[in-house]
């Protein structure tokens, strides 16, 4: 898969955590990235262009995507929040993004989905990408919505859409749960490249995880598309276990893949939750 510096690639949410970690890697592969967020990212690299845009404003999103070939959509609210916040940033904003992309003739969209779209699956069960969504939060619901919207725009309008259910991005796993869902920035960029370049994608859901021995996810579809993760969560087990001791036990969250997202506001009998 070869990069092409002449393509206009837009990266939303460029000032956020994942955007900040992946931008330097993307800049080497795709010179001339168009960065977007509500606030300007620090340390713009040579060739990067910043376009301020609020996803809840269709006119601003349309202006951002004019002439774009591809979009890596990281923008939105990245954790659980009040319904109004999630609705505006992650549902209305996501719709505006896909609709503006359709109108602009954008060929490929990579949607940053989340493990929280399936967070109520038990940790003892390994799941593929074809399971029924079981969100653990309003945030998780918004990511399931984005996956469904991506399927609609792919099937109805011929857009190439790759949804990545991202685990936890960073230099190393932060606790025992993240040993199962961790992904290095380098491996995530590898998945971005597949979404931007692979010729046979129409609509895909992939898991954003490195080569983790403790993984709860079957990511064979990503591997079939050429994904070869280099990071290994197990290399960081001692650090993760030491950090876990500081956190302590969570009788609800420790059962489910979504962790504390499943625990928050939980009023059910734990035995009745999840599939």
Cα(242)–Cα(231) distance, integer angstroms:
20
| Spatial CB neighbours of 130, under 8 Å, sequence gap ≥ 6 | 205
Residue tagged active-site, from 30, 95, 121, 139: 139
Sign of the alpha-carbon torsion through 263, 266, 268, 274? negative
Measured in degrees and rounded to the nearest 5, phi and psi for residue 62 equal -60, -45
Please confirm, yes or no, whether 95 is among the known catalytic residues. Answer: no
Cα(18)–Cα(14) distance, integer angstroms:
8
Residue written as token pair 């990212």: 41
Please answer whether residues 17 and 42 qualify as being in contact, where contact means their C-beta atoms are separated by less than 8 angstroms: no
Counting Cβ atoms within 10 Å, is residue 76 exposed (0-12), middle (13-18) or buried (19+)?
Answer: buried
Please answer whether residues 36 and 14 qualify as being in contact, where contact means their C-beta atoms are separated by less than 8 angstroms: yes
Please answer whether residues 266 and 128 qualify as being in contact, where contact means their C-beta atoms are separated by less than 8 angstroms: no
**Backbone region of residue 3 per phi and psi (left: phi > 0; alpha: psi in -120 to 50; beta: other values):** beta
Strand partners of residue 37:
52
Longest dimension (CA), the chain: 55
What are the catalytic residues?
A: 139
């Amino acid at each position: 898969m070869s990069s092409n510096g002449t393509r206009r690639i837009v990266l939303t949410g460029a000032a956020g955590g994942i955007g900040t970690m992946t931008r330097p890697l993307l800049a080497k592969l795709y010179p001339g990235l168009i960065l977007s967020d509500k606030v300007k990212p620090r340390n713009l690299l040579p060739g990067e262009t910043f376009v301020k845009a609020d996803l809840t404003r269709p006119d601003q999103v349309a202006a951002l995507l004019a002439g774009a070939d591809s979009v890596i959509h990281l923008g939105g609210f990245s954790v659980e929040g009040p319904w109004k916040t999630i609705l505006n940033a992650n549902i209305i904003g996501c719709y505006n993004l896909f609709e503006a992309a359709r109108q602009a003739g954008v060929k490929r969209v990579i949607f940053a989905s989340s493990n929280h779209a399936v967070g109520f699956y038990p940790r003892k069960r390994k799941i593929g990408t074809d399971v029924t969504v079981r969100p653990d939060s309003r945030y998780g619901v918004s990511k399931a919505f984005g996956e469904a919207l991506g399927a609609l725009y792919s099937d109805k309008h011929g857009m190439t859409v790759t949804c990545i259910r991202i685990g936890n991005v960073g230099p190393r796993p932060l606790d025992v749960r993240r040993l199962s869902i961790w992904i290095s920035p380098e491996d995530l960029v590898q998945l971005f490249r597949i979404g931007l370049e692979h010729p046979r994608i129409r609509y895909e859901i992939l898991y954003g995880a490195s080569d983790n021995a403790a993984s709860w996810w079957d990511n064979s579809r990503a591997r079939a598309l050429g994904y070869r993760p280099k990071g290994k969560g197990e290399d960081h087990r001692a650090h993760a276990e030491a950090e876990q001791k500081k956190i302590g036990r969570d009788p609800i969250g420790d059962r489910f893949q979504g962790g504390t997202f499943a625990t928050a506001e939980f009023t059910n009998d734990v035995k009745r939750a999840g599939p």
